[in-house]
Structure 1
Amino acid sequence: MLESLWWQGVRNLGEQTLALGPGINRLIGPNGAGKTSVLEAVHILAAGRSFRTQHLRRALQSGAEQLWVGGVVNSPAGGLHRLGLAWDGTRRSRLDGRWMQGHAAVAEWLPVRTLHAGSFELLTGGPEERRRLLDWGCFHAIPGYRLNWQRWKRAHDQRNAALRVGDRAGAREFERPWVAFGAEISEARARYVEAWASATTAAAAQFGFGERLEGLGLKVRMGWDRERQLEEALDRSRESDEERGFSQVGPQRADLDLRLGGRAAAEASRGEQKRLVTALVGGQARMLEAETGRSPVLLLDDVVSELDREAVEGLMAGLRGSHWQILVTAVEDGIPGLRGEDSGQLFHVKHGHVKPAPAA
């Protein structure tokens, strides 16, 4: 659980420390007030990047020279941890008072999933975001995945660097670790997706729209011909790789094959697609809890306007019974599916400042 969040230099937000509660936290305010920026700050702390832009520079407040985000998390498995991220042209990550190399050690303690307008393009867009979603799940649920992925990525980058300059002998030096760790992470992805399909179906039922996603099919496309081992696929591709200057097969080309009733999910109705993406994220949250005992933090940015009323009511009713921490934004209070004591903590957001509503 994220117990507190602090930010400075983020978008239109004034510097502030915010105490968050367990369960549902509602951030209510007009458009442009800063609600989404609060969720963005959480996402930056959790993932080392924004869900709104590829460049942290664009999340920097006008006139500011640096961006800071910090927080305190309380994990049942690991106790209290202080997380931090600073950006002044270079990203630096901090865990329990120590500067870290990379952001992975920080991200491990704050598993966050986000649903926003762009999330619903997951099924119709390119494979990069689907791979990112898959790797997030493997990173948090499968022991050793992060290290194997980092080792494969290092070999992949070094091989490609050699291929770009025509150093064929140099490129071949990195093939052994590229194949070994690439096979490891690909097998882990396949295992994860097999369990993820069941968890997604369960999440859809939890959110009240299981019957709308009947016939769900979820498989991973490895990034090469399934009939071959990765080493064999590389052998067949090596000459072409050397001519083109980059690796053409491998885990970097993996994708998700998503189907509803035997048809590609990208061809489903817009409403079905939004429900499917919601269920995929919910499925990952369920798996994280089942596999690690840790509860995720869900960031829901204006889902009231993205989903129809029935879907919002089902989603919120399902989330009320979970042990997850949720931050949800809306223009007005009275989110469908939330009522009374189950509606959680309320915050009013206005002109870049967040104010907790007094307890009733």
Structure 2
Amino acid sequence: MLTSLWFQGVRNLQEQTLQLAPGINRLVGPNGAGKTSVLEAVHILAAGRSFRTQQLRRVLTTGTAELWVGGEVDHRGSGAHRIGVVWDGTRRSRLDGRWMEGHATVAEWLPVRVLHAGSFELLTAGPDERRRLLDWGGFHAIPGYRVAWQRWRRAHEQRNAALRHGDRCGAREFERPLVEFGGQVNEARARYVIQWSAATREAAGVFGFGERLEGLEVSLRAGWDRERTLAEALDRSRSMDEERGFAQVGPQRADLDLRLDGRPAAEASRGEQKRLVTALVGGQARMLENESGRAPVLLLDDVVSELDRPAVEGLMRGLEGSGWQILVTAVEDAIPGLEQGRSDRLFHVKHGRLSVERRNSPPV
């Protein structure tokens, strides 16, 4: 759980420290007030990147040269930890006052899932975001996945570098670790997808639209011919790899095959697609909680306008009883599905500044 959040140099937000509630935190205000930027700051803290842009420099407040995001997380059994991210041309991450190599160690302490307008393009866009979603699940829910993924990725990148320079002998030196760890990654992904499919259907039921997704099928496309091992596929593609200068097969080309009633989910109605993406994220949250005893922080950016009213009502009712920490943005105070607009904490956002409303008292 994220107990506090501090940010500086993030878009139009004023420097501020927020104390967050363990349940539903509503961020309410007009468009352009900074609601989404708060969620973006949480995502940067959790993942080391924004969900709105691939370049952190675009997140900087106009006229500033660096951004800082920090916070404190608290997990049952492990106590509180301070985490942070700074970007001043280079991203650096901190854990309990120490600079870390990379962001993975920090990300472990704050698993976050986000639903925003771009999330609903998951089914119709290219496979990159689907792989990222899959790897997030593996990273947080499968013991040993991160190490296997990192070792495969290192061998993959080193082999590609050798191929680009025409060093065929050098490229072959990296094939053994590539096959070993790439195979481990693929096996872990395949197991995860089977569980994820079931958890997605369970989440859809909790959110009130399980009947709409009864025909859901989720499977993994490994990134090479399923009739061959990775070693066999690599052997067959080696000459093409050497000609083109990069790998043609492997976990980097994996994808999810999502179908509803036998048809590709990308061909489903827009409403069905949005429900499916929502259930996929909810399914990951349920899996993480079942595997580790903790759930991710859910960031819901203006789901009121992205989903139809029955879907919003079902989602919020399902989440209200989950016990998960949620940050949800909206233009209006009332969010369908939250009884009498109830939430554990209400923030009013105006001109990049947040004020918290105490229960039975006006905003302060």
Match of 1:187 in 2: 187
**Hey, what's the Cα distance between the residues in 1 that align with 2:184 and 2:157?**
17
Deviations 1:197-226 (A, max 9, x none): 000000000000000111100001000011
Match of 2:320 in 1: 320
Mapping 1:54-203, distance limit 5 Å:
54-203=54-203
Match of 2:287 in 1: 287
Match of 2:345 in 1: 345
Do the aligned partners of 1:77 and 1:294 also contact (CA within 8 Å) in 2?
no
SS of the counterpart of 2:200? helix
Do the aligned partners of 2:333 and 2:341 also contact (CA within 8 Å) in 1?
no
**Hey, what's the Cα distance between the residues in 2 that align with 1:340 and 1:143?**
42
SS of the counterpart of 2:18? strand
SS of the counterpart of 2:33? coil
**Which AA in structure 2 matches 1:359?**
R
Deviations 1:5-47 (A, max 9, x none): 0000000000000000011000000000000000000000000
Mapping 1:197-276, distance limit 5 Å:
197-276=197-276
Deviations 1:91-116 (A, max 9, x none): 00000110000000000000000000
**Hey, what's the Cα distance between the residues in 2 that align with 1:78 and 1:66?**
31
**Hey, what's the Cα distance between the residues in 2 that align with 1:25 and 1:352?**
17
Do the aligned partners of 1:155 and 1:175 also contact (CA within 8 Å) in 2?
yes
Aligned-residue identity in percent: 77
**Hey, what's the Cα distance between the residues in 1 that align with 2:359 and 2:13?**
24
SS of the counterpart of 1:356? strand
C-alpha RMSD of the superposition: 0.8
**Hey, what's the Cα distance between the residues in 1 that align with 2:324 and 2:67?**
28
Deviations 1:210-250 (A, max 9, x none): 00111100001000011111101101111111111100000
**Hey, what's the Cα distance between the residues in 1 that align with 2:343 and 2:37?**
22
**Which AA in structure 1 matches 2:65?**
E
SS of the counterpart of 1:147? helix
**Does 2:14 match 1:26?**
no
SS of the counterpart of 2:71? strand
Deviations 1:291-345 (A, max 9, x none): 0001210000000000000000000000011021000000011100012484321
Match of 1:41 in 2: 41
**Hey, what's the Cα distance between the residues in 2 that align with 1:171 and 1:29?**
55
Do the aligned partners of 1:77 and 1:293 also contact (CA within 8 Å) in 2?
no
**Hey, what's the Cα distance between the residues in 2 that align with 1:117 and 1:216?**
22
**Hey, what's the Cα distance between the residues in 2 that align with 1:104 and 1:293?**
20
**Hey, what's the Cα distance between the residues in 1 that align with 2:109 and 2:294?**
9
Ranges of 4+ aligned residues in structure 1 off by more than 3 Å: none
**Which AA in structure 2 matches 1:321?**
G
SS of the counterpart of 2:110? coil
**Does 2:347 match 1:356?**
no
Do the aligned partners of 2:224 and 2:230 also contact (CA within 8 Å) in 1?
yes
How many residues are paired up? 360
**Which AA in structure 2 matches 1:304?**
V
**Which AA in structure 1 matches 2:161?**
A
**Hey, what's the Cα distance between the residues in 1 that align with 2:168 and 2:148?**
25
Q: TM-score, normalised by structure 1?
A: 0.99
**Hey, what's the Cα distance between the residues in 2 that align with 1:77 and 1:256?**
35
Structure 2's unaligned 5+ residue stretches are none
Match of 1:307 in 2: 307
